Structures are given as structure tokens and as C-alpha cells.
Amino acid sequence: MSITANWSYPNTVRFGAGRISEIAEACIAAGIQNPLLVTDRGLRDMEITKATLDLLEGAGLGRAIFADVDPNPSDTNADEAVRAYREGDHDGVVAFGGGSGLDLGKVVAFMAGQSRPIWDFEDVADWWTRADADAIAPIIAVPTTAGTGSEVGRASVITKSDTQEKKIIFHPRILPGIVICDPDLTVGMPQKITAGTGLDAFAHCVEAYSSPHYHPMSQGIALEGMRLVKEYLPRAYADGTDIEARANMMSAAAMGAVAFQKGLGAIHALSHPVGARHHTHHGTTNAVFMPPVLQLNREAIAERFDRAAAYLGIAGGFDGFCGFVDELNASLGIPATLSALGVEAPDLDHIVDDALRDPSCGGNPVELNADNLRGVLEKVL
């Protein structure tokens, strides 16, 4: 079966192998004549990036690129990229890569026309209304991993350099206008990145499904997203050229990001400060926190995960689901502890304080406090 489709949910998505060939057409459809391709350092010299630039240049759209993007993109990266955008007189962004390239590319298109500092648009109350919406440049998103789902999201996660905190920058109009989801671009992902990004998608679905907020559409999307990860992540990990598995993981990533409109929780609240302070891979960090957070939330979520387990074909209800998560992590080489992830001498008080300020706390089914967050941290040390 050919997995190729055009979707208009939640934005315009051109999905299917080989569809990167439509990148120039997508730019023109979005009104972009002089795009800046924003990606991360690791992708700068890869063949998929060069080939994409060739397609843009061949259509008379130039081959401008900004790739000084950290694995956890920062305000410093954003300032430098906005400067490059303005100096190049660009009129739109091709956000290309994993979560770091996508998040920074979206912020560049957002901030290039603003006069206020980036932190004035943090996802707090209605701060997004401070922005000049008409000055936001068009965005084409091209994911090359299957994890964050940033290509279908209205926010970016940016690290505040002076405090080493991850902050969420939000505006409805940084939802990319056109997305090209081409599973061919993910074939070269190393196993380690396949695992970490895939479990990021899974964590999004698990936390959205756990959230107490009312959003039945997201609830259903989260459930099916978990099924796709369960069936296809082991296949993509075992054989990176399995296009059916790669395609379904790209779908799961987008589904996770749509689903977490319903909320995230303690996994992300803790993962954000650990990643900001210790520069760990976001999805892998989520995977480390998932087992103890499931146990923290047991009383509130056991019944709904009994139903999820039945749908997923997992015996044993909630406990069976938790056992599946443990087995999945182990089979994908995920460390069981933060120290095995390279986190040395973490300042638990600072991590807990940062976690309590993270907006993800609001979607956790059990009210979070310093004691229960510290308890989760201690279990993974």
C-alpha cells in the first residue's frame, strides 16, 4: 500500500515518500521567493539538506541556509538567525530537521518582524497577543525525524541562555503554512535518534491521554498514536530503510503534537529543565522519566490505561502497559537512569523549581509539588 496523502489537519500536509521534490512549489504557494532554510549543525552537510537546497536553487529561490542551531535551540541561536534573515532580505523560512531546526525556524519567521524581545511572547496567559501577527513570515516545515511533531504545532521550545531554562514561545500563526512529510528523509537516522525521537512521540501521546482536561478529539488521536508507535517504532529501529515503518512513525509524531493540545505533564515538566541544564536529548530524557511518572499518576490514570491496554493488545491493564513501556525502553537501548544518560551531579532543587514553573505541570493528572517531583527524580538517579 502506498502511504501518500494530502491533509488539511491541522495545517496543509503533503505526506509521502519523495514529496520533498515539491519543496519549491510549496514555497511559491506560500508566497516565498527568497527562503532561508533553517536547520541544525548536524544536518548542514548531509545529502538530504544539499539535495533540498539544490531543489530550491533550481527553481530560482536561492540556497540560503542558517545552521548554527544547538540541539536545544537558544535565544542566542534565535538572535543570530533573525540577523541572518534580515540581512539576507528573506521573505519566508523553510524549517528543516528535527525539533531543534523546526522550533528555531518557526521562531525566526515569528521574530523577524517583531520589535519586542522574544521573552515577551512566552506561553503565559495571553502574551501572544502582544505580537504583530501581520509581521509573521510564512513557514514551510520539513521534518527529518519522527518525534517532536513541531511541524503541526503552534509553539517552539527555546532555551533562555542566562538562566538555562526552557521556555515555550507561542503564537497561533507560527503553525507552518505547509508541511512536507517525506519518510525518505528519515531513512538515514541513526538507531539512537530513531529511538529517542520515537519515544518523544510516544511520551506526547501518553501524557495527552493522561491529562485530565476535556478534549475527546485529542484523546482519540493520542490512543491511535500510541498504537502506531507500538507497532512501527521497533520496526524502524531494526531496519531504518523500512519506509512503511518510517511513514507511520512520522504520522505518530504529528499525532502526538496534535494530541498534546489536551495537555502534557510531569514527564515534560522534568525533562525540560534536565535538558536545558545538562543538554540531554529531549525524547530520550522523556523516555527515562516515563516509568516513574506513570507510577506517580497511577491512582488517577489506571482505569483509562486499562482501556488503552485493551485497544493496544497489551494484557494486564495498567500494570501490563507499564511493563510494556519498560520492555520497549530496554529494547531500544534507553538508559534506566539519568546518570547513565550522562547527567552528573544534578542540582535537584533547581530542577524541581524549574519543573514547577513549567507550563506542562498544568496537564498532569496528579497535582505536582516539590515533594512528588523530587521523588520522581530520585527514582531515576
Closest CA to 168 of 358, 364, 368, 369: 358
Mean pLDDT of the chain: 96
Mean pLDDT of 58-62: 98
Q: Cell numbers at residue 281, please? A: 536529548
Give the count of beta carbons closer than 10 Å to the beta carbon of residue 159.
Answer: 23
Supply the DSSP symbol for 122: B
The pLDDT value recorded for residue 153 is: 95
| Percent over 70 (pLDDT), the chain | 100
- CA 88, distance to chain mean position in Å, is 28
The three cell numbers of residue 16 are: 509521502
* pLDDT 10s digits, 37-57: 999 999 999 999 999 999 999
For 223, the grid coordinates are 490512543
Cross-strand partners of 168: 157
| Residue 269: count of CB within 10 angstroms of its CB | 28
Q: What's the CA gap between 335 and 341, in Å, rounded?
A: 6
Q: What is the CA radius of gyration of the chain?
A: 20
pLDDT band, very low/low/confident/very high, at 325 (cuts 50, 70, 90): very high
For the chain, helix, strand, coil in percent to 5 are: 60, 10, 30
Concatenating the DSSP letter of every residue in 173-242 gives: GGS-SEEEE-GGGGTT--HHHHHHHHHHHHHHHHHHHH--S--HHHHHHHHHHHHHHHHHHHHHHH-TT-
Q: Is 96 helix (H, G, I), strand (E, B) or coil?
A: strand
Confidence of residue 2 (pLDDT cuts 50, 70, 90): confident
Lookup result for grid cell 517583531? 114
* Edge-to-edge strand list for the sheet holding 92-97: 5-7, 12-15, 178-181, 139-143, 92-97, 35-38, 65-66
Mean pLDDT to the nearest integer, 294-316? 98
For the segment 196-255, what is each residue's pLDDT rounded down to a tens digit? 999 999 999 999 999 999 999 999 999 999 999 999 999 999 999 999 999 999 999 999
pLDDT-based confidence at residue 1 (cuts at 50, 70, 90): low
